[in-house]
Amino acid sequence: MVRFENKRAGWAIAAASLLGMVASNGYAATASYDPATSVVDFPVVEVLDGATSSFFSAKLQVTGNDLQLIAADVIPPAKGQQRVVFDSATAAVHVPSVVVGADEFYAKLQLVPGSDPLRFTVAQLVSNNFQGCPSFSTPGPNQGSCILSGEIKQDITLTKNTQWILSGSVFIGGNNTESATITINPGTQIFGQQGADFLWIRRGSKIMAEGTPDNPIVMSGPLQQSGGEWGGLVLAGNAPVNGCNEGVAVCENPFEAITSESFGGNNPEDNSGVIKYTQILFAGFAVRPNEELNGLTLNGVGSGTVIDFVQVHKGLDDGIEMFGGTAQMKHLVLTENEDDSMDWGSGWRGRAQFVLIKQSASDGDRGVEADNNEVNNDSLPRAKPILSNMTMLGAPVATEGFLLRRGTGANIWNTVVTGFPVCITIDGGATFQNAGTPGNLSGELTMVNSFVNCATNFKDGVDATFTVVDWFNSQSGNKAEDPLLNGYLPAPGSPLTLGGAAVNDPFFNTVDYVGAFKDGNDDWTQEWTFKFN
Say if 122 falls within a structural domain: yes
Same domain, 304 and 199: yes
Asked if residue 492 has a cis previous peptide bond (ω within 30° of 0), the answer is no
Same domain, 314 and 177: yes
Same domain, 75 and 196: no
Among 111, 127, 143, identify where a domain stops: 127
Give the Cβ contact number of residue 69 at 10 Å.
Answer: 18
Say if 306 falls within a structural domain: yes
Interval 169-180: pLDDT, tens: 999 999 999 999
Among 127, 150, 181, identify where a domain stops: 127
Same domain, 377 and 511: yes
Distance CA 197, CA 417 (A): 34
CA 347 to chain centre: 20
Same domain, 293 and 324: yes
Same domain, 441 and 366: yes
Provide the residue range defining the domain that includes 123. Answer: 31-127
**102 half-sphere exposure, CB direction, 13 A CA radius:** 1
Same domain, 210 and 309: yes
Pairing of strands 410-413, 422-426: unpaired
Per-residue pLDDT averaged across 297-304, rounded?
A: 98
Say if 11 falls within a structural domain: no
Say if 37 falls within a structural domain: yes
The per-residue pLDDT of the chain, averaged, comes to 93
**Burial code of 477-497, b = ≥16 C-beta within 10 A, e = fewer?**
ebbeeebebeebbbeeebbbb
Q: Which of 237, 235, 293 is nearest to 267 (CA)?
A: 237
Looking at the 3D structure of the chain, how many domains does it have?
3
Interval 308-324: pLDDT, tens: 999 999 999 999 999 99
Same domain, 415 and 513: yes
Interval 330-388: pLDDT, tens: 999 999 999 999 999 999 999 999 999 999 999 999 999 999 999 999 999 999 999 99
Say if 500 falls within a structural domain: yes
Same domain, 334 and 366: no
Among 73, 107, 127, identify where a domain stops: 127
Please report, as a single letter, which amino acid is at residue 504: N
Say if 400 falls within a structural domain: yes
Same domain, 522 and 373: yes
Residue 11 has a pLDDT of 35
Same domain, 284 and 169: yes
Confidence of residue 98 (pLDDT cuts 50, 70, 90): confident
Distance CA 133, CA 523 (A): 39
Per-residue pLDDT averaged across 197-207, rounded?
A: 98
Weakest-pLDDT range from 4-13, 151-160, 423-432, 511-520: 4-13
Say if 197 falls within a structural domain: yes
Q: Which of 451, 434, 445 is nearest to 496 (CA)?
A: 451
Say if 172 falls within a structural domain: yes
Same domain, 203 and 281: yes
Residue 292 has a pLDDT of 79
